[in-house]
Structure 1
Amino acid sequence: MIRIYQYLILEIYFLLVFCSGLIPRLTLRLDDLCLRVPYNIKEGHTVFFQDGAEKLFIGGTNYVLQVNVSNGHIMENFTLPDNRDHFCNKPSCGNTITVIDKFQNSMLVCGTNGGNPRCWKLHPKSSNHSRGVMEEMDGKGIAPYSYSQNSLCLTVDGDLYAAAPLYKEGTSLQFRRKAGSQTSVWMYDPWITEPTFITAFLARRPRDPVNEKMYVLFREKNPDSSLEADPWISRVARVCKADKGGSKRFFQNIWTSFLKARLVCAIPNEFLYFNRLQDAYVLHAEDWRESRIYALFSSSWNATAVCIYSLADLDHIFENSSFKGYNGEIPSPRPGTCVEDSKSLPMATINVIKQHPEMNQWVQPIQKTSPFYISNSNYTRIVVDRVKAADGKKYNVLFLATDTGKIHKFLEDGSEAFIISEISLYEHSAPVQSMKINSEKRQLLVGYPEQMSVLDLQRCQHYNTSCQDCVLARDPYCAWTENGCTSQIKEGIQNIATGETHLCFNSVNHVTRTKRDTSSSSPVPEEINHTVPMGFPFYLSCPIESHHATYTWLHGNDLISCNPTQSTCLYLIPNTNEGNYGDYTCQAEELDYKKIVKKYNLRSPPQSRSINIAFKISAQKHLLLTPFTLVIMLVF
Structure 2
Amino acid sequence: MSWLVGVSICLAWDFQFALSSGASDAPSLGLTNTPRRVLSPDRICGRLEYPVYQNHTVFFHRDGSDELYVGGTDYVLKINVDDNQVIEEFPLRTTAQQECSEGLCYNVVTVIQEFQDSLFVCGTNGYKPKCWKLYSRVHNQSREIVESYEGTGISPFAYTQNSLSLTADGDLYTAAPLGSDGRSLQFRRKAGGRANLWMYDNWVSEPTFVAASWVERKEDPENDKIYVFFREKNSDSSPEADPWVSSVARVCKVDEGGSKRFFQNIWTTFLKARLVCGFPKESLYFNHLQDVYVVQAEDWHNTSVYALFTSSWNSTAVCIYSMAKIDEIFESSTFKGYQKDIPNPRPGTCVKNSRSLPLATVLVIKDHPEMKDWIHSVHHLNPFYISNNNYTKIAVDRVQAADQRIYNILFLATDSGKIHKVLESDSEAFIISETHLSNHSAIHSMRLDTKKKKLIVGFSEQIVSLDLQKCQEYNSSCEECVLARDPYCAWTESGCTSNTSGGIQNISGGETNVCRQTVEGPKSLNRTKRETPSPSPLSSRAVHSVPLDIPFYLSCPIDSYHAAYTWEHNGRSSPCLQMQSSCLHLIPAMAQESYGTYRCVSTERDYTKVVKEYQLTRQPIGEPIRNSSREVIVNKTNDAAVLAPQMVGVIVIMIILI
TM-score range, shorter chain: over 0.9
CA distance in 2, matches of 1:304, 1:505: 40
1:632 to 648, 653, 656: 648
The change in CA–CA distance for 1:450 and 1:349 in structure 2 (over 3 A counts) is same
Could you tell me whether the CA contact under 8 Å between 2:68 and 2:79 is conserved in 1?
Answer: yes
Alignment of 1:193-592 (within 5 A): 193-426=205-438, 428-506=439-517, 508-509=518-519, 512-514=520-522, 516=524, 518-519=526-527, 522-523=536-537, 525-592=539-606
Alignment check: 8 A CA contact 1:200 1:217 kept: yes
Contact conserved, 1:482 with 1:515, CA < 8 A, in 2?
A: no
Residue 327 of structure 1 deviates from its aligned partner by: 1.2
Q: Which residue of 2 aligns with 1:621?
A: 634
Counterpart of 1:229, as a letter, is A
Provide the C-alpha distance between the structure 2 equivalents of 1:343 and 1:431, rounded to a whole number of angstroms.
46
Letter in 1 for 2:51: N
Q: Secondary structure at the match of 1:632?
A: helix
Q: Which amino acid aligns with 1:489?
A: T
Shift of 1:592: 0.7
The one-letter code matched in structure 2 to 1:574 is P
Q: Distance in 1 between matches of 2:525 and 2:132?
A: 59
Contact 2:94 2:105 (C-alpha < 8 Å) held by counterparts: no
CA shift, 1:93, in A, is 3.0
Contact 1:513 1:520 in 2 (8 A): no
Matched, 1:31 2:31: no
Residue type matched to 2:454 in 1? Q
CA drift of 1:338 comes to: 0.8
CA distance in 2, matches of 1:611, 1:578: 19
The aligned amino acid for 2:648 is I
State the alpha-carbon separation in 2 of the partners of residues 571 and 255 from structure 1.
68
Q: Deviations over 1:379-409 (max 9, x none)?
A: 1111111111111111111111111111111
Matched, 1:112 2:124: yes
8 A Cα contact 1:407 1:424, kept in partner: yes
Equivalent residue, structure 1, for 2:23:
none
Whole-angstrom distance in 2 between the partners of 1:616 and 1:518: 44
Instruction: Report the residue type matching 1:504 in the other structure.
Output: C
**C-alpha distance 247-69 of structure 1, shift in aligned 2 (>3 A):** same
CA distance in 2, matches of 1:626, 1:265: 53
After superposition, the Cα gap between the structure-2 partners of 1:324 and 1:518, relative to the gap in structure 1 and judged at 3 Å, is closer
Structure 2 SS opposite 1:31:
helix
- Normalised TM-score (structure 2): 0.89
CA distance in 1, matches of 2:191, 2:36: 48
Read off the aligned partner of 2:598 and give its amino acid letter: Y
- In 1, Cα distance between the equivalents of 2:187 and 2:643? 58
Check conservation: 1:537, 1:633, Cα contact below 8 A.
Answer: no
- Cα distance in 2 for partners of 1:20, 1:578 equals 36
Equivalent residue number for residue 103 of structure 1 = 115
| CA offset digits 1:81-113 (Å, max 9, x no partner) | 641246214124310000001112011000010
Residue of structure 2 in register with 1:9 after alignment: none
Q: Secondary structure at the match of 1:328?
A: coil
CA contact (8 A) 1:34 1:425 kept: no
Contact 2:550 2:642 in 1 (8 A): no
- In structure 2, the gaps of 5 or more residues are 1-27, 530-535, 653-658
Q: Which has the higher contact order (CA 8 A, sep 6+)?
A: 2
Q: State the 1:416 CA deviation.
A: 0.9
Q: Report the secondary structure of 1:316's partner residue.
A: helix
Q: Distance in 2 between matches of 1:33 and 1:634?
A: 34
Q: Is the 8 A contact 2:259 2:356 kept in 1?
A: yes
What is the rounded CA distance, in whole Å, between the counterparts of 2:233 and 2:643 in structure 1?
52
Q: Cα–Cα, structure 1 residues 80 and 533, in superposed 2: closer, same or farther, change >3 Å?
A: closer
Cα distance change on mapping 1:434 and 1:333 into 2, 3 Å: same
Q: Decide whether the 8 Å contact of 2:475 with 2:525 is kept in 1.
A: no
CA displacement at 1:505 relative to structure 2: 1.3
Deviation at 1:19, TM superposition (A): 7.9
The superposition leaves residues 516-555 of structure 1 with CA deviations (integer Å, 9 ceiling, x where unpaired) of 5754664273322223333222211111110000001111
Matched-pair contact (CA < 8 Å) for 1:290–1:312: yes
Are 2:180 and 1:172 aligned? no
* Same amino acid, percent of matched pairs: 53
**Distance in structure 2 (CA, Å) of the matches to 1:18 and 1:575:** 27
2-structure distance, mates of 1:392, 1:125:
45
Greater mean deviation of Cα atoms: 555-564 or 351-360: 555-564
Aligned residues: 615
Task: Give the secondary-structure state (helix, strand or coil) at the position aligned to 1:422.
Answer: strand
The one-letter code sitting in structure 2 at the alignment partner of 1:296 is L
**Amino acid of the residue matched to residue 507 of structure 2?**
I
1:309 deviation in Å? 0.7
Cα 1:449–1:81, aligned 2, differ >3 Å: closer, same or farther? closer
On the 8 A contact 1:247/1:344 being kept in 2, the answer is: yes
Contact 1:56 1:67 in 2 (8 A): yes
The one-character-per-residue Cα deviations of 1:462-512 (angstroms, maximum 9, x if unpaired) are: 111111111111111111111111111111111111111111112x32xx1
Residues of 2 paired with 1:490 and 1:216: CA distance?
39
**1:581-632 C-alpha deviation (Å, 9 max, x unpaired):** 222111000011001011122232323x244798976653337967898543
Tell me how far 1:32 sits from its aligned partner.
Answer: 5.8
- From the superposition, tell whether residues 151 and 18 of structure 1 become closer, same or farther in structure 2 (CA, over 3 Å): farther
| Aligned counterparts of 2:157 and 2:209: Cα–Cα separation in 1 | 16
* C-alpha distance in structure 2 between counterparts of 1:630 and 1:268, whole Å: 56
Give 1:156's aligned residue: 168
Structure 1 position 18, deviation (Å): 10
CA RMSD between the two structures:
2.3
Partner of 2:199: 187
The answer to whether the Cα contact below 8 Å between 1:198 and 1:280 also exists between their aligned partners in 2 is yes
Structure 2 counterpart of 1:621, one-letter code: V
Q: Which amino acid aligns with 1:598?
A: K
Distance in 1 (alpha carbons) for counterparts of 2:491 and 2:179: 58
Partners of 1:175 and 1:186 within 8 A in 2? yes
Task: Measure the CA separation in 2 of the matches of 1:629 and 1:275.
Answer: 54
Q: Structure 1 regions of 5+ residues with no counterpart?
A: 1-16
Q: How much has 1:124 moved relative to structure 2?
A: 3.8
d(CA) in 1 for partners of 2:340, 2:44: 64
| Structure 2 contact 634–643 (Cα < 8 Å) conserved | no
**CA distances 1:130-173 after superposition (whole Å, capped 9, x unpaired):** 84123411111000000000011111111111110111111211
Q: CA 1:502/1:348 → structure 2, altered by over 3 Å: closer, same or farther?
A: same
| Residue of 32, 54, 57 corresponding to 1:21 | 32
CA contact (8 A) 2:625 2:632 kept: no
Partner Cα distance (2:542, 2:81) in 1: 44
- Aligned residues of 1:396 and 1:411 also touching (Cα < 8 A): yes
Shift of 1:232: 1.3
